[in-house]
Structure 1
Amino acid sequence: MKIKYLFIMAALALCLYACKKGSSNKSSASIVGRWYQNKLTINQQTISTGATASATYPAMDFDTTYYWQFNNDNTAFVSSGATIFTVTGKSSPLNGNGQPLGGKAYYRWYKVSGSLLILQLGFIPTCYNCSQPGPDTVKIIQLDANTLVLHENVDTSSVYKVTADSYYTRAR
């Protein structure tokens, strides 16, 4: 009887592990598509004093140049418009030709692992035998059919600790 009980418990444990693994793949598939930014909250803490500041930017501050694109082949890119958002305000810097800054960053792969979004920046040839940056990890606060909320540490220098919560809506 003990052997039968142990066999049943082992089979149940294997089934639970398989179900958990399957749900992770489901999350990864549900992030595929284009997600437009519609809100940003930035929090900053000064390390030496503990002083805090925050800023929230609503949907009207974002246009269709602010988005994430997650592809079926596990590649991704993020597009940022010309405005830079900080806890003290926003600015629209220009490049040397007087054109607004902004652009896209390409990620050669991404994966969703539980509540984490892991992104590997695409190879940028800067010099021969230079090491490339490791993967970035962003926490997924919410991911459903229409909403994606990402939490990331933007700056953890010796001066500031800055975090940002970015809100997105799936493109239709």
Structure 2
Amino acid sequence: MAADQLFDRQFAQVCRGTAGQPAATAYEPRPGVHPFLVLKSTDGTDYVGLSSGTYPEGWHVKWPDLAEAELVVCATQVSATPTEICEGYTDDDSDTEWTVQTHDVVYEYTVRSATTAEELGTQKFEAPGKCPMFSMYNGRDALPLLNYPTPSTGEVEVFLQPFVTGG
């Protein structure tokens, strides 16, 4: 591993708005693709990489290419309201059964320049809680398992498109 290798946690200060990441790529608003890194937080202070979501080719950078990020997309959980307890999850091998607590979640997505932490835009998204089709339980997790959905990639993509493509 190279000594100058970047990790997602080294971009957390960008989402907090306290400092940019000087090892990232400078953002200049012009036509062309401006790749981003997505970070998620439940409390607005601790941000970790969010790899879910399928974006158009070249939009989303992942490790080990984080230095290519021009933008940081910060997904901050604003609220989470419990909705329903979902039942019927069973491990066929052990006959273990468990439940899942769903939540309606509101996220605020903020787009920032990776090198300066300048806020470029923000939007709130709602992610309604619904029983997941699949659930994993390891026998040590507290029950019910907590489920916090994320907004659809399509909704987020529409919001991000002007920043990422420059138009």
Where on the TM-score scale, by shorter chain, does this alignment land: which range?
under 0.3
Calculate the TM-score normalised by the size of structure 1.
0.25
Normalized per residue, which structure has more strand? 1
Higher relative contact order (CA 8 A, sep 6+): 2
Calculate the TM-score normalised by the size of structure 2.
0.26
Larger Rg: 1
